[in-house]
Amino acid sequence: MKKTYAPTLLVSELKRHVCGSFIFIFAMIIVLVLINQSYLNNELVDGVASKSYASFIPFFAMFAVFIASILSVTLVLDYERGYVKFLLSFPVSKYSLLLSKIVVSFLFSLFFFSCFVLQYVASFLIAGAPLGKTMLICILISYAAVSVVLLSAIGLGLFTSVVFKSSITSITFTFLLLMLWTLMPGPIAEQVLATVVIGEFKREIFFGSLSPQGFLDSTIQYINITNPSMWYLKRYYFIASSIGFLMLSVVAIALIILSMILFRRAEIH
Amino acid sequence: MSLYSGKRYGLVGPNGAGKTTFIKLICGLLRPTKGSIHVFSLDPWKDRVKVCRRIGVLHEETLVPPIEKVFDIFMFVGKLKGLSIDEAKREAEDLLDFLGLWDKRHLKVGTLSAGQRRRLELALAFMGSPELIILDEPTANVDPSGRKDVMSIIERLSREIDATFLISTHLLLYLEKICDEIIFLSKGRVLARGSMRELISKYSKPIIRIETSNNAIFAEKVRNLNSVSHVRIEGNTVIVAAKSKEFFKDIGKIASESGLYLYRIEPLHETLETIYNAIVREEK
């Protein structure tokens, strides 16, 4: 008798999502790619690939964040439909159940994000824009940044699922919090998080830099500044992205761990 | 309450008695608010995975995802239960064949009838040769003929499989046939437990069908006895509900004093239902 069931659970979860949401996500990708294509061509007329990438990709990270949250909040739907009870009637630990949900939500939303990255790379190559080392680092850093953001979104979806245990309440709260986070309203976004002083250069880091777009923007901007005379600005973006990385990582880890603890203690009716 | 391995237990009680809660406690889905529960010497709440490796459970509600294909769900559950692909395939084939679902193996679960879905879930509970099989309302949402099928399958499997059974159902007639011991629950407490024979001797009051040379006179005389609670004439017989077994001593006396012939004295068969009613009445 084998005792490893985690891959089975993961494959099953992937299959369920492929059946349930892949068509929707794929249709969304096609529509967004088509719309984006016209903007992309204009942007490339006198633009540098990495700068063009920096100005557009954070917007798609926001869509990926919504997808990640929606997929993770399906935990509450699984609970209501009895799928959680069905799985827990077999030797399946609650942690593996949550982990499979996290991994699948992450992979799906990252796939969504990757489609746009690919679109940019392909468009730049077709347009003959030189990609270079900076663009490659931009892509890598955007993946690192988007991973943190996606994990936070997944944590949020799981947390509302295990706290409210009701699909209507969980989905409503997730959407409200996502809207607040992604489309951060002015009064919140303009709150000063820290002030960076480098010699005579003084600039505030705003709360808005913690939104998915703000965070991705600062991380890619940091890579994009290659002019040595603007080293203070590069440093500013480095500090802003470091703060964002630190805070969002803590939020993501805290939400996921809290969800796991609450789910472990939750009774299944 | 202790359950011993290899026995077949029936769980009986009115709605809200705590039967399903008890089953969920065994499966580690609920945490006991008072007291403790041990399954195979393990705490199911803390060691749910270890406990679930050794039990097979059929819940009251239909839980199998409707979009899955019948055979695929067997393979999936087999893998979750730690079976190799070959073992899962073999068990799936055997169980599907036994339950008459072999023709449906390529269909989606959602297309099956309620009875077929219940049989499928029943089969899943038996996968991986569990040591304890728990069946909570195995005939829920099934039509009368389907109920008979499901209970007959359980009866056969319970005789063929060497496992402990815990069956909760309102179909008392079947429990009588299947179970070695019946446990009566009410408001979370065990009201009574024992084999049918033990329960009959403890809770039943004799009901006797008697045929005499003059039933009307006999009924009149018997009605005045202290050992009798109810008398009625049914056809050419008198049905007497006795309060105690003392009544049997009194019959001969009455017959000889009244000059009546006793043609037939037949104790009526006690059912689990009459015992259940007696226990519920006593509880009230």
Residue A176 burial (CB count, 10 A): 11
Q: Which of A12, A81, A89 sits opposite B27 (nearest CB)?
A: A89
Tens-digit pLDDT profile for chain A (269 aa)? 445 677 888 888 888 877 777 777 777 777 777 776 666 665 554 556 667 777 778 888 888 999 999 999 999 999 999 999 999 999 999 999 999 999 999 999 999 889 888 887 877 777 777 777 777 888 898 899 999 999 999 999 999 999 998 999 999 999 999 999 998 888 888 888 888 888 778 888 888 889 998 898 888 888 877 777 878 888 888 899 999 999 999 999 999 999 999 999 999 98
**What residues in B contact A83, CB-CB < 8 Å?**
63, 65
Among A60-69, B49-58, B235-244, where is mean pLDDT lowest?
A: B235-244
Calpha distance A241→A245 (Å, rounded) = 6
Average pLDDT, chain B: 88
Nearest residue of chain B to residue A9 (CA atoms) = B80
CA distance B87 to chain A (A): 9
| Residue A75: closest CA among A92, A99, A93, A91 | A99
pLDDT of the residue at A40: 62
Cβ <8 Å between A268 and B82: no
Chain A residues with CB under 8 Å of a chain B CB are: 1-3, 5, 8-9, 12, 16, 19, 81-83, 85-93, 267-269
Nearest residue of chain B to residue A84 (CA atoms) = B63
pLDDT of the residue at A1: 44
pLDDT of the residue at B203: 74
Among A17-21, B22-26, B187-191, where is mean pLDDT lowest?
A: A17-21
pLDDT of the residue at B143: 87
CA distance B63 to chain A (A): 5
Nearest residue of chain A to residue B126 (CA atoms) = A90
pLDDT of the residue at A38: 65
Cβ <8 Å between B24 and A92: no
pLDDT of the residue at A45: 45
The phi-psi region of residue B197 (left if phi > 0; otherwise alpha if psi is between -120 and 50; otherwise beta) is alpha
Contact indicator for A52, A40 with CB cutoff of 8 Å: yes
Classified as helix, coil or strand, A195 is strand
Classified as helix, coil or strand, B37 is coil
Q: Which of B49, B63, B87 sits opposite A91 (nearest CB)?
A: B49
pLDDT surpasses 50 at B81: yes
Among A9-23, A180-194, B90-104, B187-201, where is mean pLDDT lowest?
A: A9-23
Strands B228-234 and B181-186: unpaired
Q: What percent of chain B has pLDDT over 70?
A: 98
CA distance B110 to chain A (A): 13
Residue pairs between chains A and B whose CB atoms are closer than 8 Å: 70
Nearest residue of chain B to residue A13 (CA atoms) = B76
Interface residue B110 vs chain A (CB under 8 A): no
**What residues in B contact A88, CB-CB < 8 Å?**
27-29, 48, 52
Contact indicator for A36, A63 with CB cutoff of 8 Å: no
**What residues in A contact B62, CB-CB < 8 Å?**
82
The sheet carrying B8-12 orders its strands as B55-58, B132-136, B164-168, B8-12, B181-186, B189-194
Cβ <8 Å between B80 and A8: yes
Interface residue B187 vs chain A (CB under 8 A): no
CA distance B79 to chain A (A): 6
Nearest residue of chain A to residue B68 (CA atoms) = A16
pLDDT of the residue at A42: 59
